[in-house]
Amino acid sequence: MDTIFALATAPGRAAIAVLRLSGPGSREMLAGLCGRLPTPRQASLRRLRDAKGAVLDEALVLWLPGPASYTGEDSAELHLHGGAAVVEGVGAALVALGARPAEAGEFTRRAVLNGRMDLTAAEGVIDLIEAETATQRRQALRLAGGGLAALSASWSDRLADLLARQEALIEFEDEGLPGALEREVAAGIEALAGEMAARLAGDVGGERVREGLSIAILGPPNAGKSSLLNALVGREAAIVSARAGTTRDVVEVRMVLAGLPVVLADTAGLREAADEVEAEGVRRALGRGEEADLVLALLPCDAPPDPATLALLARRPCLVVASKADFGGAGSGGMPAGGLAVSARTGAGMDELRRALEAEVARLAPGAGETLLARPRHRAAIRDALGWLAEASKAPLPELRADALREALRALGRLTGRVGAEEILDRVFAEFCIGK
């Protein structure tokens, strides 16, 4: 296997740049750069030189012999001065010694292949790197810390025990094994399937925590959608004008609500379009409303209830907002029960709206930060295992029941990468940055 290297810190001007090295040639390459190897896992100040003896930098060097390293291989870290010339010079010296630049996620991929972590823990690592909020951080730490792997291992152990008993019933069919054993296998399958199904139904919201939520603001032209977006995010993110139809395309702004990242979208006003451009804006607004996790439907208080917005309320649940509450008027009288009256201009009702939004976000992502099923493939693997357990329960022959139990075990193995890892490794590690 090649010896690889990469920056573990962000590129650009900085006080320190950390360069990581991993692979079978790490020992010789590190010795080639700094001469005598430092004591393992003890930072030492060394003068780094290239093959011609030219000084490249004076750096802190860590020698991390495998298998007790992040990748499970011989590894090293070079804590360099952060100048581009220093980093380029040390990189060129490593290439001359036989190393190559690492690909995205290659360090963590090697850790998985060398048994230092399972696939779910690797996914937790990338989620931790990308976490924007404390809630995302907590969920990523649970995943990276092996929470889902431990749960999967518990289920797999029970499945393996059930399979062993079923195989015994087949192998020793003529030995007069007690009938209670077959009943125990059937009861074990039912209990395990019930536990897995309960986890699948109860452990929800993890994907929304990781990916964030989308909220679309919809309503008629001049309903105050752009003003409301600006008031919620606390800055002039969207153009505000008294002229109807100012917003033609979707304007997106990121913010944090209830500890979760949210994309708030201002959209074109819903009405009969006057031209092709406005018609496209209305089409995109309706499309964003269909895709959004939550819709804020605005009914302005200075106008009668808008038919297009009322039709939207009939199609899907929305959080109804009576905008321009400082104007009063007919609109608020036609607002559905439970709507919130707000004024983006005066701030009236905005605190109540923020609390309502946070409550909706919490409802959409229950148990935020405490879930383990953070990706679609996690749920898919468990659903596949449940399907095979159902097949095992109704199998007419002992051999078919054993086959179904083996397939259930294989499905759980895909969860942690123990089975069929190559099928999903490329997809998982494509998300990683260089150097991790």
Is-contact 5 73, C-beta < 8 A?
no
- Is the bond into 398 cis (omega within 30 degrees of 0)? no
Computed over its alpha carbons, how large is the radius of gyration of the chain? 29
Angle at which helix 350-364 crosses helix 225-233, to 10 degrees, equals 80
> Cβ atoms within 10 A of the Cβ of 251, count?
18
Residues 6+ apart with CB under 8 A from 127: 136, 139, 140, 143, 144, 210, 374
Cα–chain-centroid distance for residue 37? 39
Q: Which helix (H) or strand (E) holds 183?
A: helix 179-202
Is-contact 48 90, C-beta < 8 A?
yes
User: Tokens 């931790």 correspond to what residue?
Assistant: 128
Q: What is the distance between the alpha carbons of residues 406 and 400, in angstroms, rounded to a whole number?
A: 10
Binding annotation for Mg(2+): 226, 247
Binding annotation for (6S)-5-formyl-5,6,7,8-tetrahydrofolate: 20, 77, 116, 436
Residues forming a β-bridge with 5: 21, 101
Binding annotation for GTP: 222-227, 241-247, 266-269, 343-345
Q: What is the distance between the alpha carbons of residues 235 and 239, in angstroms, rounded to a whole number?
A: 11
* Terminal-residue alpha carbon distance, the chain: 17
Residues 6+ apart with CB under 8 A from 307: none
- Give the residue from 353, 360, 356, 320 showing the smallest Cα distance to 337: 320
Collapsing DSSP states into helix, strand and coil, what is residue 144? helix
Phi, psi of 398 (to 5 degrees): -60, -40
Binding annotation: 20, 77, 116, 222-227, 241-247, 266-269, 343-345, 436
DSSP 147-173: HHHHHHHHHHHHHHHHHHHHHHHHHTG
